[in-house]
Amino acid sequence: MVSLNKNIVRIILIASYILIIALIISGISALFGYLNTGADRSAMLHTEIKKIEQYSPKVVWSPLANEGRPIDEESLNAIENDYLDAWYVKHVAYKTNTTNGIKDYYTDNARLNLFDFIEMNSNENITIESTTLEHHPTLEFFSEDGQLAVITDKDVVEYKRMFKAETLVLESKEISTYKIVLLLEDGFWRIRHLVKESIDDNDVEHTKITTDNLNIKGINYYPQATPWDMFGDTFSKDILAKDFEIIRGAGLNTVRIFIQYDDFGKADVDQDKLNKLKQTLDAAENANLDVVVTLFDFYGNYDVLDWTLNMRHAETIVTSIKTHTALVGWDIKNEPNLDFESRGKANVIAWLDNMISFVKSVDKNHRVTIGWSNTQSATLLKDKVDFVSFHYYEDLENLDTSIKTLQAEISNKAIVLGEYGMSSYSGFWKPFGSSQEDQANYHKKVQEIIAENNLQFMSWTLYDFTKIPKEVVGRLPWRKNTQKRFGFIDDNGGQKESFKYISKQ
Amino acid sequence: MRLRHIYIGLLGLILLSSFAVIQQNEMAIDLQLLTTQTEFDAGSAVVLKFSASETIKPMLYCSSSYGSTLVSPSTDGSNIIYSIPQNICQKTGQVQWKLINTMTPLSGQFKITPKQEVASMETYIGPPSIDAGGTDYAMLVVIPTDSLDNPLPENTLVNVKHQFLSSESSDGVKTNNFIAYKNIYSQQESGRMLVSSESLNTNSKEFTITVFPAIPTDFKIVEKRPHNYADGNQVTTFKTSIIKDKQDNVVSDGTYVSFFITNDKGNSLKTSGTTINGVATAMMIHPDYETQWTIKAYIDGMAESEVITLNYNQVVEDFDVIFSKNNRAISVGPIQSFMRQMIPDGLQVKLLIYKDGKLLNTLTKTSIDGFVNFNLKPNSLKNNSYNIVIKTAGLEKSFKAIQLW
């Protein structure tokens, strides 16, 4: 008995000793690890290039036929960079009414003109959010000693928003022609003279594409294993092919997919991701499915000075897949109305308006829509989009009325119910949730309403998911768990009851 | 009853006021621009006058070359007046305006044109130095600006004047894209060219372009030496002819000329000099033995001289060698020059020691007062018999089996 007790004491002693040692070691290693952070050897000499892309409007140089010395590409690039930077610092200066950076890009005399404006606007409490979207410069003259250049910048598309006492008073899109004299001083091409030769309002009417032959019966798609990370490392063409066959087999003809702004590399689009996107469209084409591509997912800045970067992003993606036969249309942004409160409705609407025009200017053949999250917002920009789409997760009782109201307001365009669905989650976090049966009934009823109103649709979603990133619905478990059970097919690949009503057969 | 009247009266007022609101809006549509002028000289006051019978005060948006702003109105009886801010009136360019907060957007444009005067001639000239010969040129760029720092309109005449040697000329150039430019070509001669420009009676300051001679052409060299003996003491001076470019301009002072000397053994020597007034001078000490030099001068990559050859005569005909102190002290001399005078100090004498055909040691000394003394130390050379060779001034004397003890 005594020896047993002794052994117990021994074991406890040894165990506690080991535990304490382990704790101390882990503590020291944590401290050591903390002190080591930031000491990256490759960063020791600060040789990395710090330049980040912050402003990249579309610049199209006219063929070179300048007077004076023939220019080389390096000099032309230097002029372009500094000239665009001059615009950028001007935008920032008028937005904040400060003079930071102006000295670098305007000569002694020229900068006074900007300072005058800044002083005047700041006294009057006027601020201007502005950006330029396009430049079409022509090099007119380059001096023999390479120190002076004259350019004519034709059709500069300028977007401006004027605020007086922080209230928006005017939104304006102008197209102007400038003539600029630049001098090379201290290694900077600085603006010496800037004269606006002409100015006009920029109203570009894009041709509307009819929606008569549009027939969307589809589903929002993410692969089961990688929701919200469709183009990641685990991208698999085979899984897509298999899933698309299931979708096609269920009698649907369209999938809606999402392109995340950050994930695709922002302004500098990742070629690898782009290839995966193309493979996705190929897979859809093989399965005889159409694809609605939703751009700018998880993007939420809308700042006017961010526009040019957004446009480069959209330009690359749209250009690279606009000829693909599987493409049926562009959804500019998923549920942008949710950002109205945090980012300002005017900001968001202006951004969308601009982006619709831009996407239409790059791709004249495909329809454009916006995936509004409710019917109330769906009439916004209805004259700009080619078809209207809205999402519906509210009570089905009101769906019919909502659709009727919407149809009354939008008579000449197809209306697509872009997302709808019901979670079959019922459990610890949501004891009174819905069952699979409820979900099936929901889809049955939705299909009836859709048929009755002659609506086009894309449901949410093919699969139940096992993990939901926090960016989607936040961290709260009752939301996350609900979000996991919206599928027509469960975790194990079995069809849920609702699968019968995935489309109206 | 009275209450009812008041009530009706109140209702009427409300109705009236709402009517007034509607009228106001209609007035906004009736706003009309009274100012007909659409072109203004820079610096003049620009006032936009609108007729409006009601006192509504929309702001005016104004966008000019350098920026945009909002202008608040003032009234003048029944008219609304917008005084465009000075900094917009002073800078040339097209200005767009828009009335905001009105039912129908009213907008228009006016133009600010530069003053017909030149206040400064901003002049850029480059490159600052060019080559003579008529093919190289410097470019003069002039931006005439008015007193408000606006570039003048197209086709403003700028006179470009330049003086070179005896010629003076003036050429009219018209501005295009705000600038007037002219390529100023060099002439046949080198020198300084003075350039200035004038527009609308305003003159620029003076600018200078240096015209350097073009690349040199081939030249000749001459030699000068005190005598033609190979005494290893005197110095031969080489001189180029006056080096000129193909237009006969003397090359710039400081042009570097290299002289390459090859002797009859095929060895090379190099010396150099830079030009002053077209002539470069270089020197080389005489050889100490009879030889022939072939000399050619170069200006690297540009020009070269003709070849000259020089002969140097032997001065030392013979010398004595005396062995003493167990043959370990060797005295060489007297070494005599061409007039039998003692050779000047510094002639190199070599002593080579061979044993069984193998070179054991070389001792080198220079002459003092016509003699050189060698001491062969027992530490380095053991008692034995050696072959000893003495070389100086291209002469050589051998002594076989000299016994050292």
CATH number of the domain residue A124 falls in: 3.10.450.240
Q: Quick check: A483 and A393 in contact, CB under 8 A?
A: no
Decide if B139 and A143 are in contact by the 8 Å CB cutoff.
Answer: yes
Nearest of A88, A71, A87 to residue A147 by alpha carbon: A71
pLDDT digit string (tens) for B198-231? 999 999 999 999 999 999 999 999 999 999 999 8
> What is the rounded average pLDDT of the residues B154-181?
93
- Is residue A11 one of the residues assigned to a domain? no
A289 vs B377: CA distance, rounded Å: 107
Out of A143, A144, A196, the one facing B94 most closely (by C-beta) is A196
Q: Domain limits of chain B?
A: 2-113, 120-212, 221-312, 321-403
CATH second-level architecture of B321-403? Sandwich (2.60)
Return the SS3 of A301.
coil
Q: What is the mean pLDDT of residues A290-317?
A: 93
Q: Are residues A84 and A152 in the same domain?
A: yes
CB-based burial label for A476 (10 Å; 0-12, 13-18, 19+): exposed
Q: Clarify whether residues A225 and A364 are in a common domain.
A: yes
Q: Which residues of A fall within a CB distance of 8 Å from B177?
A: 140-141, 150, 152, 179, 181
- A193 and A333, same domain (yes or no): no
Q: Spell out the residues 6+ positions from residue A461 whose beta carbon is closer than 8 angstroms to its own.
A: A219, A220, A221, A222, A421, A486, A487, A488
Question: How far is CA B92 from each of CA A22, B113, B307, rounded to the nearest angstrom?
Answer: 77, 5, 68
Residues A196 and A264 in one domain: no
Q: Is residue A47 part of a domain?
A: no
| pLDDT reading at B19 higher than 60 | no
Asked if residue A471 and residue A416 are part of one domain, the reply reads yes
Equal fold, B2-113 vs B321-403 = yes
Report the alpha-carbon distance of residue A452 to residue A373 in Å, rounded. 22
Whether A12 is in a domain gets the answer no
Q: What is the pTM of this model?
A: 0.80
Q: What number is the average pLDDT over the span A195-214?
A: 86
Where does the pLDDT of residue B403 fall: very low under 50, low under 70, confident under 90, or very high at 90 and above? confident
Check if the beta carbon of residue B2 is closer than 8 Å to that of residue B49.
no
Residues 6+ apart with CB under 8 A from B271: B238, B258, B259, B261, B282, B283, B284
Q: How far apart are CA A380 and CA A168, in angstroms?
A: 19
Contact state of B69 with A198 under an 8 Å Cβ cutoff: no
> How confident is the model at residue B262, as a pLDDT?
95
Q: What is the CATH number of domain B2-113?
A: 2.60.40.10
Looking at residue B171, what is its pLDDT? 93
A18 vs B: CB within 8 A? no
List the one residue out of A490, A414, A413, A412 whose CA is nearest residue A458. A414
pLDDT of residue B13: 54
Lowest-confidence region among A292-301, A361-370, A376-385, A496-505: A496-505
- Cβ–Cβ gap B98/A172 under 8 Å: yes
**Interface touch A94/B68, C-beta < 8 Å:** yes
Are A116 and A242 in the same domain?
no
- Overall CATH class of domain B120-212: mainly beta
Structural domain includes residue A35: no
Of the partner residues A117, A143, A199, the one whose CB lies closest to the CB of residue B126? A143
Selected residue with higher pLDDT from B14 and A346: A346
Question: Of A201, A228, A260, which residue sits at a domain end?
Answer: A201
* Of residues A117, A178, A194, nearest to B69 (C-beta): A117
3 state DSSP class of A255:
strand
Alpha-carbon distance A221 to nearest alpha carbon in chain B (angstroms): 46
Please indicate whether, in this complex, the C-beta atoms of B63 and A120 are within 8 angstroms of each other.
no
Question: Under a CB-based contact definition with an 8 Å cutoff, are residues A458 and A406 in contact?
Answer: no
CA atoms of A488 and A153, how far apart (whole Å): 55
Name the more confident of A237 and B105: A237
Indicate if the pLDDT at residue A36 is higher than 80. no
Can you tell me the distance from the alpha carbon of A446 to that of A443, in angstroms, rounded to the nearest whole number?
A: 5
- Tens of pLDDT, residues B367-385: 999 899 999 888 888 888 8
A194 and A227 both lie in a single domain: no
Contacts with A366 (C-beta within 8 Å, 6 or more apart), sequence order: A209, A322, A327, A328, A329, A330
The answer to whether residues A119 and A229 belong to one domain is no
> Who among B69, B107, B127 is closest to A145 (CB)?
B127
Asked if residue A134 lies in contact with residue A157, where contact means CB atoms within 8 angstroms, the answer is yes
For residue A456, the model assigns a pLDDT of 92
With tokens 């999250």, the residue in question is A373
Interface of B with A in 16-75 (CB under 8 A): 59, 61, 63-70, 72
- A256 found inside a domain: yes
Q: Which amino acid is at B331?
A: S
Residues of B in contact with A199 (CB under 8 A): 63, 94-96, 109
Q: Which whole number is the average pLDDT over A191-219?
A: 88
Asked if residue B245 has pLDDT above 60, the reply is yes
Contact A197 B183 (CB under 8 A): no
Q: For A279, how many CA atoms within 13 A lie in the half-sphere containing its CB?
A: 15
Taking each helix axis from N to C end, the angle separating A237-249 and A271-286, rounded to the nearest 10 degrees, works out to 30
- Cα nearest neighbour of B72 on chain A: A124
Phi, psi (rounded to 5 degrees) for A40: -80, 125
Q: Would you state the pLDDT for residue A458?
A: 94
Contacts 24+ apart (CB under 8 A), B200-203: B200/B116, B200/B117, B200/B118, B200/B144, B200/B156, B200/B157, B201/B118, B202/B117, B202/B118, B202/B119, B202/B120, B202/B121, B202/B144, B203/B121
Chain B, residues 75-104, CB within 8 A of chain A, namely 85, 87, 91-96, 98, 100-101
Do A195 and A230 fall within a single domain?
Answer: no
Q: Is the four-CA dihedral B337, B342, B345, B348 of positive or negative sign?
A: positive
Query: Cβ of A241 under 8 Å from any chain B Cβ?
Result: no
Q: In terms of domains, do A272 and A317 share one? A: yes
Examine the pLDDT at B148 and tell me if it is beyond 50.
yes
Residue contact B65–A195, C-beta within 8 A: yes
Residues A221 and A175 in one domain: no
**What pLDDT, in 10s, does the model give residues A118-162?**
999 999 999 999 999 999 999 999 999 999 999 999 999 999 999
Contact A145 B124 (CB under 8 A): yes
Average pLDDT, chain B: 88
- Indicate the residue among A201, A233, A267 that finishes a domain: A201
Residue A467 domain-assigned? yes
How sure is the predictor about B21, in pLDDT bands with cuts at 50, 70 and 90?
Answer: very low
At residue B6, the pLDDT reads: 65
- Band of pLDDT at residue A202, cut at 50, 70 and 90: confident
Quickly state the pLDDT bin for B404 (edges 50, 70, 90).
Answer: confident
Q: What is the predicted pLDDT for the residue at B17?
A: 52
CATH number listed for the domain at residues B221-312: 2.60.40.10
What is the rounded end-to-end Cα distance, in angstroms, of chain A? 78
Number of domains in chain A: 2
pLDDT level of residue B168 (50, 70, 90 thresholds): very high
pLDDT over 50 (residue A287): yes
How far is residue A229's CA from residue A259's CA, in Å, rounded to a whole number? 9
CB pairs under 8 A between A and B: 128
Dist CA B243 CA B295 (whole Å):
17
The answer on pLDDT for A83 being more than 70 is yes
Domain shared by A99 and A182, yes or no: yes
* Touching A: B residues 150-179, CB under 8 Å: 150-151, 176-179
Give per-residue pLDDT as tens, A229-267. Answer: 999 999 999 999 999 999 999 999 999 999 999 999 999
Average confidence (pLDDT) over A61-88: 94
Tell me what pLDDT residue A40 has: 67
**Distance of residue B264 Cα from the nearest chain A Cα, in angstroms:** 51
- Reported ipTM: the value is 0.80
Q: pLDDT tens-digit profile of A177-195? A: 999 999 999 889 999 999 9
Average pLDDT in the A406-433 region?
A: 89
| Residue that has been written with the tokens 């951004």 in this structure | A351
Q: In Å, how far are A388, A455, A459, B257 from A504, measured between CA atoms?
A: 21, 12, 12, 97
Q: Is the pLDDT of residue A33 over 50?
A: yes
- Name the residue among A136, A155, A151 with its Cα closest to residue A200: A155
Residue A134: predicted pLDDT: 93
**What does the alpha-carbon distance between residue A310 and residue A159 come to, in Å, rounded to a whole number?**
14
Q: How far is CA A163 from CA A127, A160, B102, in A?
A: 5, 10, 16
Confirm if A380 and A372 have CB atoms less than 8 A apart: yes
- Cβ atoms of A312 and A267 closer than 8 Å: yes
If you average pLDDT over every residue of chain A, what do you get?
91
Helix ranges (H only) for A1-43 are: 2-36
Percentage of the residues of chain A whose pLDDT score is greater than 90: 72
Q: How confident is the model at residue A209 (pLDDT cuts 50, 70, 90)?
A: confident
Task: Identify the CATH number of the domain in which residue A376 sits.
Answer: 3.20.20.80
Q: Residue B29 pLDDT more than 70?
A: no
CA distance A414 to A329: 13
Select from A121, A194, A198 the Cβ nearest to the Cβ of B69.
A121
What is the DSSP code string of A192-235?
A: EEEEEEEEEE--PPPPP---TT---EEEE---SSSTT-TTSTT-
Q: Which domain holds residue A269?
A: 217-501
B392: DSSP letter? E
**In the predicted structure, residue A313 carries a pLDDT above the cut 80:** yes
Q: ω into residue B334 within 30 of 0, thus cis?
A: yes
Q: Is A111 on the interface with B (CB under 8 A)?
A: no
